[in-house]
Amino acid sequence: MSRGDKMKTKYLVISVLAFFIFIGIYSTQKNMQRSNPSSITVSEFKEKIQKAPKGTTITETYDGIVTYVSKDKKTFFVTHVNPNKSPIGEYIEDSQVTYKFVKEGGLFGNGFLILLGVFLLFVLLSAANRNRQPQPGQVQKKDSKLVYETPEVSLADVGGLNQETKTELMQIIDLFKNHEKAKSLGIKKPKGALLYGPPGTGKTLIAKAIAKELNAVFFAKSASSFMEMYVGVGSGRVREIFQIARSVATDEKPSLIFIDEIDAIAKKRGGRNSHEERENTLNELLKELDGVESNENVFFIAATNLYDSLDDAFKRSGRISNELYIGLPEEQGRLEILQIHKKDYKLSESTDKELPTVAKSIRGYSGADIEEMYSKAAKHAFNEGKEEIELVDIQHAIDRMVLGTQNQKLLDNDVQKRVAYHEAGHALIQALTFPNSIRKATIIPRGGALGFVAPIPKEIDLATHEELMDRLAMIVAGGVAEREIFGMHSVGVGGDVRQARQLIDAIVEIGVFEKDFELIYETKEIEKAKQHLFKSAVLRSTDYIKTHINILHKIAKALIEKETLDGEEIQQMVKIT
């Protein structure tokens, strides 16, 4: 906020306070008049009037307050009468007093004062709001603090990128720094980059790293900060950030403007979601990017999680030189991120060696998820009184992120036994059909689950019909195991059934059947195909469990004794038998 804005705000606050202080003093005086110790009854007041000498003043107000003031101003009495039927007129007929009637409800009454105060307050607030809005050609200085030093983050601190993305990033940096050399090939100097992809994949970190590599002054803002209720504010702020960036940019030290969540101002225009202020702001941004004024040493980066929602004019070729998809990291990328973030935490030597295994088990995790996993693991280690983070702490953090908090352990032996066989059924078929794909199995309740088997998902999964049926058999194996051991299944299969429905729907939708590659359109045929898939999965699961019933008993018994088994233990039981 500029000095002028601060002074205007100061005067506004003082004016408002002065008004309310005045109203308070006025009201207090009125109340004092009404409760004055010299107040007397109407009959006593009548006697005072009849005996009053010449020069005495009687003043009656519109609301029934009657005052008696002697000639020398030393004697003062107050009484109250019914303003609709005042007797004072009769009392003063034969007296020597001077009578006055004051219409306080008129121009200077309480109501007028309050309305006047509200009006003045409205005028002051309107003036303040106008002062906040940018005038044509005016650069607001209230956001001048957005100029930062060059970030300390380098590309070495960015992990999880595939090789193609890394190569393109280095090319962008090289072309911007050495654009004179590239001119001979007709290559233009890069204007900027649009980074898009899932949340938490490091788009902001990449922008900082590019600024570091370019030795650029870093300007960072969220797109939502450009949006205000006042028309013209957003476009004014866009002009401001580009003007300041141009003013400080040099060949040796360029400027980098980074706008995060760009979809807040660059959504597709028109239709139901049309918003005049947002569209004006986008138009101003497009004008600045087109380079009506030279952006020779200014590099622009925008980031979004919602690429498809962006306006076509913003994404058009030539406006932003490069578009980079920053996706979820693959296994090697996850290991890179694990290695980078471990510098901030104290891991045991054995845990450090197990990081490749951890990277395999956290498919689908973003860089932000991995950092959160480390944080939760460190908190768990601290609560356990440890000096180093162990693998069990990381496993606890993964479970916590996927399934929620741990609940009270199962105390009922019958329930514990049923849950153990249920989870043993899942674990058995998972180990038989997809070897070495179990991270752990447990009967310790967590979130809404009484137990669970945590698989290690494949990096790329192009499942055939046979593999999909094995997966379905594994999903329904909990209920099948319960029926085999206890004669009937429980409501604990609810989550399994929902998961099975989703997979069956997908199989039918894309036509991955055993014999034919076909699509079904008739509703009756669709329902028939789905029912057939479910029954086939139950039969397949039943066959697996009956054939390997001894292994089922071993896994269930081990779960009851230990409550948690890791994948290697389960796989070993399957191999031995």
- Please identify every residue annotated as catalytic: 423
| Local structure of 106: helix, strand or coil | coil
Residue 33 has phi, psi (to 5 degrees) of -65, -40
Burial of 549 per CB tally in 10 Å (0-12, 13-18, 19+): middle
Treating both helix axes as pointing N-terminal to C-terminal, what angle do 413-433 and 567-576 enclose, rounded to 10 degrees?
70
Which amino acid, residue 414? D
Place of tokens 């309480």: 110
* Cβ(155)–Cβ(176) below 8 Å: no
CB atoms within 10 A of CB 165: 19
Alpha-carbon separation of residue 43 from 32, 49, 70, 431, 508 (angstroms): 22, 10, 18, 105, 99
Question: What span, in angstroms and rounded, lies between the C-alpha atoms of 240 and 259?
Answer: 14
* Chain-centroid distance, C-alpha 199: 11
Measured CA to CA, the distance from residue 577 to residue 566 in angstroms comes to 18
Residue 486 structure tokens: 């206890």
Is residue 186 within 8 A of residue 353, CB to CB? The reply is no
Question: Could you tell me the two tokens for 447?
Answer: 């979130």
* Coil/strand/helix, residue 190: coil
Distance between CA atoms of 463 and 536, rounded to whole angstroms?
17
Q: What are phi and psi of 449, to 5 degrees?
A: -105, 140
Q: Return the DSSP state at 300.
A: E
From edge to edge, which strands make up the β-sheet containing 76-80? Answer: 76-80, 65-69, 57-61, 98-102
Task: Write out the two tokens for 125.
Answer: 């607030």
CA distance 79 to 81: 7
What Rg do the C-alpha atoms of the chain give, in angstroms?
39
Tokens of 537: 């999965």
DSSP 445-458: -BTTBS-EEEE---
Place of tokens 């699509």: 519
Contact 277, 321 (CB under 8 A): no
Bridge partners (DSSP) of residue 564 are 442
- DSSP H or E run through 303: strand 298-304
